[in-house]
Amino acid sequence: MIYSYFQAQERLSSLLERALSEGQVKLRSRDGRVFIIRPEQPIKSSPFEVRSLKLPINKADILEAIRESRARF
């Protein structure tokens, strides 16, 4: 659902709660532009929370890299 600017002014608190529960809320300004309010994700505090990388490697490639590394040392 897209809310008008006037509706957003009247119900800002409830719209922010809805953005939290649904992921985002759309607002339409008087001139027709549409804006999206999306909650920001909290900053990760643990050093173990890292983003993963999608690489075209498989189990055999990983095992081969480990063997090569062990052979060098």
| Per-residue pLDDT tens digits for 12-58 | 888 888 898 999 999 888 899 999 989 987 766 777 777 788 889 99
Mean pLDDT of 61-70: 95
Domain ranges for the chain: 1-40
- CA-closest candidate to residue 6, choices 43, 37, 15: 15
- Quick one: pLDDT at residue 49? 75
What's the pTM value of the predicted model, to 2 decimals?
0.47
Tokens (6 digits) for 29: 């300004």
Residue 62 in this model has a pLDDT that exceeds 90 = yes
Domain 1-40: CATH architecture, name and number where available: 3-Layer(aba) Sandwich (3.40)
What pLDDT shows up at residue 9? 76
CA–CA dist 32, 19 (Å, integer): 21
Q: Are 30 and 18 in contact (CB under 8 A)?
A: no
